[in-house]
Structure 1
Amino acid sequence: MALDFIPNITIGQEYDQRYADAPVHYEALGRMADFYGRNMPVHHHDRFFQVHYVKSGMVRVYLDDRQFHQQGPMFFLTPPTVPHSFTTENGSDGHVLTVRQQLVWSLLEELPELGDAAAVSPVCVATGRAREEARLDVNRIERLFDELRLEFEADRPGRETAMITLTRLIFVSLFRLSSNSLAAQRVRHEDLSLFHRFNLEIEAHYTAHWTLSDYARALNVTEARLNSVCRRIGGVPSKRVVHDRVMQEARRLLTFTRMSVNEIGYRLGFHDPAYFCRFFARHAHTTPSGYRHDQSGHR
């Protein structure tokens, strides 16, 4: 699939605008999953490396066309422009680190023994299975992520320098562990392609509230096949994939705009504001106003 058609997500613009220009962005995996949804469709991060360190729970990961289905603790590293998608179980938690590419490239230029700055590959490593000689780096990464979280949440002198230093140390250990990358599991290319095309159709039509039969018709498949592929690739039914995208946009608008709840409902294609509120509450277990209030306390 051409990269031009794969959404580029810039964390500092879509998720946490306070740090739009920051070289390092940290977030707890659970909080980011609450915002984007547990099913993260295929996307890439132009000019950013990203690390997901999953402490617990099962994760389905697709790094380009390679599939991994792994229980935490584990991490996966995605270099800039590499298309990836993943699904995490409810309750899965850990860390998400988003880093400007130049910071990582400069580290590899200083320490070429860690890898080639021009050819960093996506990797998926099960840290719980790490050999004895790798345990030092696994334990160090877990401590460093905890330190990074504390530094990110505080506003103390030297904060940015401290975060950059901690991030460099984390990447040293990540690159040391990358030689332990798991072997990719077999996945049917046509299934993965259909799943990605489904997500692109959702991106184009979710505010029009297309039915599953509309999507199946556009993709030239049956609803049963579409649902089967979504369960195999994403671990969720096809309807859930659509609803997750609507919820992702609802959360974004509630967090970053001053639009009223009714206006957001209309923007998302709901003709009845009360139905939008019921839809949101069913998926988020709180009202739109309650969600907005909770987010304002975190930002």
Structure 2
Amino acid sequence: MKSENASNWIPNINIGQDYDQRYLDASIHYDALENLAVFFGRDMPVHRHAQYLQIHFIKKGNINFHIDDKLFQVAGPSLFLTPPAIPHSFQIKPNAKGHVLTIHQSLIWQIAQRGSRSDEPEFNLNQGICLTESRLCAGQRKTWQFIQQLLENIEEEWHSESLAKALALESFIYLLIIQIARLSGRQVQSSEVNNDDLRLFHQFNRQTELHFREHWQLPKYTEAIGVSESRLNHVCQRISNTSPKKIIRERLLQEIKRLLIFSKLSINEIAYQLGFRDPAYFSRFFKEQTGMTALAWRKQHNKALVS
């Protein structure tokens, strides 16, 4: 899991390419958690960001957050830091709100280099971090409040057109990373995932990535990885708190949304490209999952991208 070869098959998501092409080469990307959830879903299968560190701040609700071989099951307010290229997945409640920051690793290297002195502890941002407000001692609450304020400042600055906006954002990011590093000594206790379960879960995700366009039914997946449906369901519920069928469905839906926003293909062309033999069935599938027609969803989100 920790080797480069082992993670090559895991979907690599580039926020600037797969979600918001206005920021294709940006070193910092901010969005509200709920906006990303509309696009990617609240039950996000295993994925990675090859050159980007990501920070999720969830204001409320129960969360399962799986980073590499660790599973954090906590309630908000909570913060998760995922290092670049580390596989992770998560499940959040429908009413959850918060912030998501995606930061290029070059900025993280700069912070670590500028902060490293022989008389100070080194930054350790090579492992996943989970911080939750309820587990902090009284002396750490001011730092937590500062983190929350910094995230609000980043959101406000992101949406502004103020003088030296890029410099201000970088400065806020520097401060945020420092505060997270200071609190990370009291990480929330994680649950180690059984190695056999983890291997099976990743085999399933790999097969999903390879075959979701072919609309494989669950028995075909279980046959391919040599496991029973009940066993696979148990593992998926244990690690991701969702069913195998939902993981397959969410991956297909995510690809539909990506093509609706970032391609000029017609609705029928998208349907055929993603293995739907009948455009009418494609339309029913999409509306059942989103509550909107594909055309209405495309118009709404393309309008949001240019606004």
TM-score range, shorter chain: over 0.9
CA–CA distance in structure 2, aligned partners of residues 186 and 159 of structure 1: 41
Q: Secondary structure at the match of 2:155?
A: helix
- The one of 113, 123, 133 equivalent to 1:127 is 133
Task: Show the counterpart of 1:295.
Answer: 301
118-127 vs 185-194, greater mean Cα deviation: 118-127
1:40 aligns with 2:44: yes
Contact 1:41–1:196 under 8 Å retained in 2: no
Q: Secondary structure at the match of 1:297?
A: helix
- The one of 110, 114, 136 equivalent to 2:114 is 110
CA–CA distance in structure 1, aligned partners of residues 108 and 121 of structure 2: 11
Compute the displacement of 1:267 (Å): 1.2
1:226 aligns with 2:243: no
Task: Show the counterpart of 1:198.
Answer: 204
- The one of 179, 188, 213 equivalent to 2:185 is 179
1:150 aligns with 2:156: yes
Contact 1:108–1:115 under 8 Å retained in 2: no
Contact 1:43–1:83 under 8 Å retained in 2: yes
Counterpart residue type for residue 30 of structure 1: E
Gaps of 5+ in 1: none
Contact 1:105–1:117 under 8 Å retained in 2: no
Where does 1:1-299 land on structure 2 (aligned, <5 Å)? 1=1, 2-112=6-116, 116=122, 120-299=126-305
Compute the displacement of 1:250 (Å): 0.7
Q: Secondary structure at the match of 1:171?
A: helix
251-260 vs 114-123, greater mean Cα deviation: 114-123
Contact 1:38–1:89 under 8 Å retained in 2: yes
Q: Secondary structure at the match of 1:294?
A: helix
Shift in alpha-carbon separation, 1:222–1:152, aligned structure 2, 3 A: same
| TM-score normalised by length of structure 2 | 0.92
Q: What per-residue deviation string (whole Å, max 9, x for no partner) do you get for residues 245-290 of structure 1? A: 0110011111111111111111111111111111111111111112
Contact 1:115–1:175 under 8 Å retained in 2: no
Aligned identity (percent) is: 39
Compute the displacement of 1:118 (Å): 7.3
Counterpart residue type for residue 31 of structure 2: E
| TM-score normalised by length of structure 1 | 0.95
Counterpart residue type for residue 71 of structure 1: A
Contact 2:69–2:192 under 8 Å retained in 1: no
Q: Secondary structure at the match of 1:92?
A: coil
